[in-house]
Chains A and B, each alone.
Chain A
Amino acid sequence: MRLELGNIYINDVKLSDTTKVENGVLYVNKEEMLKEIGGDEHIKSIDLELAHPGEEVRITPVKDVIEPRVKVEGPGGIFPGVLSKVDTVGSGRTHALKNVAVVTAGKIVGFQEGIIDMTGPGADYTPFSKTHNVVVLIEPVEGLKQHEHEAALRMIGFKAAAYLGKVAKDLTPDEVKVYETEPLFESVKKYPDLPKVGYVYMLQTQGLLHDTYVYGVDAKKIVPTILYPTEIMDGAIVSGNCVSACDKNPTYVHLNNGIIEDLFEKHGKEINFVGVIITNENVYLADKERSSNWTAKLCKYLSLDGVIVSQEGFGNPDTDLIMNCKKIENEGVKTVIVTDEYAGRDGASQSLADADPKADAVVTNGNANETIVLPPMKRVIGTTEFVDVIAGGFDGSLRPDGSIEVEIQAITGATNETGYVTLSSKGY
């Protein structure tokens, strides 16, 4: 499967009477966009606000972040099974608007989290302070149940990204990257001397505000299966996960997964990157056993030499991570696990809720319990009403001057476990 990904670099976003891209500027017709993404009976009103890198703006509580993309050639459309038919995507050509993100924000439940600061010390911790953000704010109808609210907000986010992505269809990209995964036997024949490496992609799947969808299927209902990496670049995996802001995978991260990018970078040179095994992180222990048995079985069946395993979230998924690692290693396949840590504010406590001697190659993306003071911002998009009660906040988090003292777990993407972050630790 071969995908050409055409990147169009955007250096500003402005409101206008026509939605278009000109000289690297994305112009957005707000009225037209609201009309296109609105219409949900559960939603009273929708509004859009823009936030640019370097501005004194705080966006919170953030739900999802999505990159605008459009399918230009080849089967299917962006977000198959969700916005488009369930055609198998990942081949042909796709265009992406780079440096732009749709950010959905809003209060679904009384405790909330997810902060994006566009400047200041907090901005260093989130990749989404570097994107021009089109923030979608929704007001639900009175009495709307939490799951219906979450579903409505999720869909509006995807529609917003698809609406903006459409303008990229007829543009000439600034660069075109080609990603190709050959059928397994052909690939092994082509690179007989390179180690065969796979990626075990763990998806958050526990219930309300903790879900992920694959081609529109609730991923807690899947058994582990194989995807071409480029299917994921076309939106085969989308996020419905709103909890644990620092280490959840927003849809943007699924589309731009850094592990997939890096494995492609080394493909055909140092390794033979043969594909992605997706698996879930369920509540029921027998599901964990079954899914980890299957990831190990698939790794063995594919005769892999090594895999990278990435986690999403905290606590319960630590058990899935270690089960995957142990069982895959027991099949004779080497593993590197990618996670983050909750090691206490001083970093001295046990990092994960599970461990095993076989997990001897670990990449961390930072300690989510580290605290930070976020200075006041001139403008807040959303509300800071809940900052005392977000993950990692504490009584008095929101100070009278508008500054906030929180653990970095409150910052969207701060310790993302696919490495879409700047934090890490190195041993010397």
Chain B
Amino acid sequence: MKAIIITNNPMVLEEYNSIYEVDFIEDSLMAVLLKTRDKIHEGHLLLSHPLSGSVKPNETIYKSVIFSKDKGKLDMDSLYIIESSIETARKFINTKKPPTWSNKTLVDFQEIDYTLITSGIESMTQFK
């Protein structure tokens, strides 16, 4: 399936930029979720869960989400999932903002986000 990845994770950009259309935004995890919602309203189909991983949205600062490249009618299931995800992420971030991380820890978070989205890509590409 032709896909777009929205991410703020430089490791995902580096690894997948030559294979997929990667929409890289240098902004917060919440900005990625809000951009995801915009894409859903434009008619793209959500392909991976926006709350991937058990690392909480006020711990990690990275997020990657996969969409269909094709656009169609607004998909209500996709919209429902992203709205619930934004509500959940806001609940965490409003309680406590992510701390200032060391560079090493940031790379660890990038690696986790990268492996989470890779597991989604592996599912997507196992039957081309």
Contacts and interface: CB of A to CB of B under 8 A. Distances in A.
A171 B54 CA distance: 41
A111 B59 contact: yes
Chief secondary structure at chain B's binding surface:
helix
6 contacts: A110-B104, A208-B111, A220-B119, A283-B117, A342-B88, A353-B85
A199 to B, nearest CB: 22
Interface of A: 109-111, 146-147, 204, 206-210, 220, 241, 243-244, 248, 282-288, 313-316, 318-319, 342, 344-345, 349-350, 353-354, 369, 388-389, 391-392, 394-395, 409
B18 interface: no
B88 A345 contact: no
Contact of A207 (B56, B84, B101, B112): B112
Contacts of B53: 206-207, 210, 243, 283, 315-316
Contacts of A146: 108, 111
Contacts of B5: none
B76 interface: no
Interface of A is mostly: loop
A243 B54 contact: yes
A220 B59 CA distance: 24
Contact of A210 (B54, B95, B124): B54
A372 to B, nearest CB: 15
Contact of A391 (B46, B52, B59, B109): B59
Given A244-B54, A285-B48, A286-B123, A315 B88 contact: yes
Contacts of B117: 283
A279 B10 CA distance: 32
B35 interface: no
A114 B2 CA distance: 39
A207 B54 contact: no
Interface string B61-88: 0000010000000000000010011011
B20 interface: no
B116 A349 contact: no
5 nearest CB pairs, A to B: A110-B105, A315-B51, A244-B54, A284-B123, A109-B108
B119 A282 contact: yes
Given A220-B119, A369-B95, A313 B48 contact: no
Contact of A285 (B46, B55, B115): B46
